[in-house]
Amino acid sequence: MSQQVLPFYLVCDESSSMNGAPIDAINKSLPELHQEIGGNPVVADKTRFALISFNHQAQVLLPLSDLSNVSSVPGLNASGGTNYKEAFDLVRDTITQDVAKLKADGHQVLRPAVFFLTDGHPNDNAEWPAAYQRLTDPGWGPRPNILAFGFGQGGHHDHSAGGHGARIRRRWLAQPGEGAAGVRPVPDQVHRQLRDLGQRHGRHESRDARHGPRFHHHPRRCHMKFSKMQEPAPAVDFVPKKEVPESPEFAGPVNYGNPHVKAGIPRGLPATWKGGQDTVIDGADFPGLTVRGASIRGDDHRYQKEVRQDAMGMWTLSGPGTSEVLLVCAADGVGSQPFSHRGSMLACRTLHEEIGQHIEPMLTEGQGSEAAQKLFESIAHRMTVLAQNWGMEPKALSTTLVAALVELTPPGAPRRCLAFGVGDSAALLLRDETFTGLWDDSHDTGPISDTATAALPTHFSSVASAEVQLGAEDVLVVCTDGLVNPMRNEDVRAQMSSWWRREAVPGLLEFAWQLSFRAKSFGDDRTAVCVWGR
């Protein structure tokens, strides 16, 4: 099963100078860190953990592993000198091997993270800077993000080697001279930083959006009319005419890749205001054409009590002449922005309001791309103005948006369709049992997956678009990356193809159930609108 994976390396100094409180604190914290990460489905399903120790030499104590499948983590023993070069060289070699293996297994590999714990007293000041520069070389594809934590006097200051240009910045876990009681909890510090890395990498985590612009409600006068209370009707005993047969248990979502046992547990309601519902389902049947749509809060957001950041919409509009057209869309709020859940809903609504004057050129052969560009520029302008009126930066509403216009022609007649979008949400065509992307998707061509994306209203330059004919056996899919990413796995693609190319189009609830499958490491919101040309 292809997964999104963040390789995470905890590199610990176990030299003699770490003896006492520092090494005791790390050994006490390793089981807690194991439990904290392994027991959290949001983190465990996306990370692989490796433990590397070093003194005068370096060794891998725990190879890169899924902590939810590890029974225990090895401890450390303080002895020997402190050789940074050995540690940096081993980390680089290990990352090279691990990333190659993960890519060979079909995974999308996010940029590795290295947490470096030391008291800051290396014995190889003449050698380690060159090794550190090799590890952080911008020209090396899998170069990691590195965060150092320090203990005692050496850990209280940044460390550098004069004349070499190498510098390590540290966050300290203990003040100089403090004992074990003064050491800050390692799992708390590391887990907090790991969550932050996940937010920057995966776009799945959102900030608390409770402190948004304030709106004032003006109460209106209400009038109520009371009628005379009636006597209650006599009670009627209900006697079933026959025994009700036992119904089968509801089938849970299909699972791929053994997702975490706690995945999808909604641990309460989102704290943010102005948020959408957990799940939205919609659809319609037209002569010769059927549309189904669902927007589902992801397992990660459910577990973290966060709001769904995806949105969708579908409308019928007046087309050229006397014809009608179907407009469908899906949007994915960028998780690093505080009001992206509002941005996705606003983008869909503004698309509906702005598209009227652009429909005719968009459905005219050869003019669709230019018309879509002008439409998105209008949407971006309106979103920017609204953000400023609400007293927020426009980028706080950042969202992707993908949409399609489909002609509602009579059954059997050709249906022109224009798909268009900004960002990593996608438009796919299911034809002859195969899904085909309607425009290029090259975000995962390097050794490390690129999770950056273009977004409305401020970070986009061009609009992707494609004109297609929707045939009687075709299915057009507009969707967010919550579906696109797991569909890179062959098993998921085959299952969706099997469901959606059946003669009978799924009902509304069945479609939402099909879309709610669980896949290890893919816990993002998932939204799709499908149009069957039949």
Half-sphere exposure (Cβ direction) of 212: Cα atoms closer than 13 Å:
25
User: Distance between CA atoms of 52 and 88, rounded to whole angstroms?
Assistant: 10
**pLDDT for the residue numbered 227:** 36
Nearest Cα neighbor of 21 from 248, 231, 207, 174 is 174
CATH of segment(s) 260-532: 3.60.40.10
**Angle at the Cα of 305 (from 281 to 522), degrees rounded to 5?**
65
Dihedral, 382, 386, 391, 397 alpha carbons, nearest 10? -70
**pLDDT for the residue numbered 414:** 78
The ranges assigned to domains in the chain are: 4-202, 260-532
Distances 219 to 213, 223, 226, 390 between C-alpha atoms, Å: 19, 13, 21, 21
User: Distance between CA atoms of 332 and 403, rounded to whole angstroms?
Assistant: 12
CATH architecture of 4-202: 3-Layer(aba) Sandwich (3.40)
At 294, list the tokens. Answer: 């669902």
**pLDDT for the residue numbered 277:** 87
Nearest Cα neighbor of 9 from 79, 76, 98, 118 is 98
Place of tokens 């519902």: 277
- Residues 99, 101, 104, 109: is their CA dihedral positive or negative? negative
User: Distance between CA atoms of 142 and 109, rounded to whole angstroms?
Assistant: 9
* CB neighbourhood size of 21 (10 A): 17
**pLDDT for the residue numbered 218:** 37
Cα first-last separation, the chain: 33
pLDDT in tens, the chain (534 residues): 667 889 999 999 999 999 998 899 899 989 988 988 888 887 888 889 999 999 999 999 999 999 988 999 999 999 999 999 999 999 999 999 999 999 988 888 999 999 999 887 788 888 999 999 999 999 999 999 998 888 765 544 455 544 444 555 555 444 444 444 444 555 566 656 665 555 455 443 333 333 333 323 333 333 333 333 344 445 445 555 567 777 777 788 898 888 887 888 888 888 765 567 899 999 999 998 999 999 999 999 898 888 999 999 999 998 877 689 999 999 999 988 889 999 999 999 999 999 998 999 998 888 999 999 999 999 999 999 999 999 999 999 999 999 999 999 888 777 899 999 999 999 999 999 999 999 986 555 567 766 678 999 998 888 999 999 999 899 999 999 999 999 999 999 999 999 999 989 999 999 999 999 998 888 899 999 999 987
**pLDDT for the residue numbered 239:** 55
Nearest Cα neighbor of 485 from 444, 453, 447, 531 is 444
**pLDDT for the residue numbered 206:** 33
**pLDDT for the residue numbered 105:** 85
